[in-house]
Every structure is written in structure tokens, then in C-alpha cells.
């Protein structure tokens, strides 16, 4: 369980999530110039697309994981728009 913020498992999960998001930032930074250049070779564009898809999957997993750790909204609280 990672419910205990200070637990070893919770810290490990946080570190893994941070590493995944940092990797996504790095991959995005490397992919943008490649994708902006119309002369980029197909294989490089395809490779960049695959890595970006992996990073997006990781980022969505992190968002879902962090969202599930948020406390449930209180009755009568702020309503979503």
C-alpha cells in the first residue's frame, strides 16, 4: 500500500513517477525539432512518435494514480463547472 505518505513504498512510487515525468519532458524536447522539420526521415519520426506515446501512457498512469490518492470531495463542496 502506498497510502502512508512517508512509507518506503510510497516514496519509491513518487520517485518513479517523477522519473517518468522527467523522461517525458526530455523526450518531448528531443522530439519537437524532429517533428517540426519536414525533412526528418520517416523512421526517426516514427521512433519519436512511439517514444512520445510511451511517455503519454506513463503520464496518464501517473495522473490516474495521483488522482486516486486525492480525498473524496465533501458533500455540498464546490461543484465542478
Residue 23: HSE in the Cβ half-sphere, 13 Å Cα cutoff: 17
Report helix, strand or coil for 5: coil
Measured CA to CA, the distance from residue 61 to residue 56 in angstroms comes to 8
What pLDDT does residue 13 have? 86
Q: Where are the beta strands (DSSP E) in 1-81?
A: none
Maximum average pLDDT range among 12-16, 35-39, 64-68:
35-39
Closest to 45 in 3D by CA, of 32, 64, 60? 32
Three cell numbers, residue 67: 488522482
Question: pLDDT tens digit string along 25-52?
Answer: 999 999 999 999 999 999 999 999 999 9
Q: Are 23 and 58 in contact (CB under 8 A)?
A: yes
Query: Which of residues 66 and 63 earns the better pLDDT score?
Result: 63
As a dihedral over the C-alpha atoms of residue 75, residue 79, residue 80, residue 81, rounded to 10 degrees, the angle is 170
Amino acid at each position: 500500500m502506498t497510502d502512508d505518505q512517508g512509507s518506503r513504498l510510497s516514496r519509491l512510487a513518487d520517485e518513479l513517477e517523477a522519473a517518468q515525468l522527467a523522461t517525458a519532458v526530455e523526450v518531448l524536447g528531443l522530439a519537437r525539432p524532429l517533428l517540426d522539420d519536414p525533412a526528418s526521415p520517416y523512421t526517426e519520426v516514427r521512433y519519436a512518435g512511439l517514444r512520445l506515446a510511451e511517455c503519454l501512457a506513463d503520464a496518464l498512469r501517473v495522473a490516474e494514480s495521483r488522482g486516486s490518492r486525492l480525498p473524496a470531495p465533501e458533500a455540498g463542496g464546490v461543484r465542478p463547472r
